[in-house]
Amino acid sequence: MTPLQRADLPRARRVVVKVGSSSISGENAAKIQPLVEALAATHARGTEVVLVSSGAIATGMPFLALDSRPTDLATQQAAAAVGQNVLIYRYQEALRAFGIVAGQVLLTAGDLEDATSRSNARRAMERLLGLRILPIVNENDTVATHEIRFGDNDRLAALVARLVGAEALVLLSDIDCLYTRPPDEPGALPIASVDYGDDLSGFEFGSVVVNSVGTGGAATKVSAARVAAASGVGVLVTSADLVAEALAGEQVGTWFAPNPAPVDEPRTGPVLTRR
């Protein structure tokens, strides 16, 4: 079978889209609407769509009168408990105009490392997709601990894409594509595509970024993209503002070509290292 190309995204059978906290919370909460419009257009083409959405903690912060992301686990859990409810409500309100129903799926790292739990999660997701429900996946921050957390939802999205056998994964952030070094530095060049197995050691993707609302960064996206691509999933990294163009197969973002001979899913989840 010919590996999926960027231009084939509109014809993909199943796509996972991941959006970060900073793109849909706080001042950017209104961006949920154009995101949902792009997902609905993809859904209308017959593609099965899974959304992996960060933002529970960030969304809950104002309701707990917090000015910045909490650092202690208990307050993070409290903010997530409040914020997840509000976040799903906002998504469902935006989806209502398109006649699409959202289904909430909360996972911990242990759910995808244990074979039985992983099988249960896959069965639930398959049934939701079969019913034309749009699953909205997030880490279960209310019960997760520092020791077992995914760490960032880029990694979670890669594992979910592999779990459901998606053909493509779209990782959305606040930059239009990946660069050879941080884009604010002199000499940074955009990376249009990455063939499977390409050596990226000469590029400077930077360390994990922790901002006022979320965690993540270019390095986590590269790491997650490599894992998904190894499983035969084509990966596109681009800006949340370009989600409609991305799902339409336009020439945006950084495309990670899938492994033409994908590996089987291991019985336990991989441990990703950050560069």
The verdict on whether residue 259 carries a ligand-binding annotation is no
Question: How far is residue 213's CA from residue 195's CA, in Å, rounded to a whole number?
Answer: 33
Answer whether residue 169 is part of any domain: yes
Answer whether residue 272 is part of any domain: no
**Residues near 80 by beta carbon (within 8 Å), at least 6 away in sequence:** 56, 57, 60, 141, 142
Answer whether residue 62 is part of any domain: yes
Count structural domains, the chain: 1
3-class state of residue 264 by DSSP: coil
Provide the pLDDT for residue 141.
75
CB 58 within 8 A of CB 83: yes
Which residue shows structure tokens 């686990």?
73
Report residue 260 as tokens: 């033409």
CB 84 within 8 A of CB 52: no
The verdict on whether residue 140 carries a ligand-binding annotation is no
Provide the pLDDT for residue 206.
58
Answer whether residue 271 is part of any domain: no
* 272 DSSP assignment: P
The tens-digit pLDDT sequence of the chain (275 residues) is 678 999 999 999 999 999 998 899 988 999 999 999 999 999 999 999 999 999 999 999 999 999 988 888 889 889 999 999 999 999 999 999 999 999 999 988 778 888 999 999 999 999 999 999 999 999 887 776 654 455 568 999 999 999 999 999 999 988 899 998 888 888 889 999 999 988 887 777 754 443 444 445 788 899 999 999 999 999 999 999 999 999 999 999 999 999 998 865 543 343 333 32
Burial 71-100 (b: 16+ CB within 10 A, else e): eeeebbbbbbbbbbebbbebbbebbeeeeb
Instruction: Spell out where the chain has E strands.
Output: 14-19, 48-53, 102-107, 134-139, 168-173, 178-179, 190-191, 193-194, 209-210, 215-216, 234-239, 254-256
- CATH at 99: 3.40.1160.10
Answer whether residue 160 is part of any domain: yes
Provide the pLDDT for residue 139.
87
Answer whether residue 270 is part of any domain: no
Answer whether residue 264 is part of any domain: no
The verdict on whether residue 18 carries a ligand-binding annotation is yes
The verdict on whether residue 72 carries a ligand-binding annotation is no
Report residue 269 as tokens: 């989840």
Half-sphere exposure of 213 toward its Cβ, with a 13 Å CA cutoff? 19
Report residue 109 as tokens: 């790292």
Q: Which domain holds residue 154?
A: 6-256
Answer whether residue 268 is part of any domain: no
Quote the pTM value: 0.89
Q: Report the relative pairing of strands 234-239 and 190-191 from DSSP bridges.
A: unpaired
The verdict on whether residue 31 carries a ligand-binding annotation is no
Provide the pLDDT for residue 266.
46
Q: Report the relative pairing of strands 254-256 and 234-239 from DSSP bridges.
A: antiparallel
Report residue 262 as tokens: 């994908």
Between helix 73-96 and helix 32-44 the angle, nearest 10°, is 60
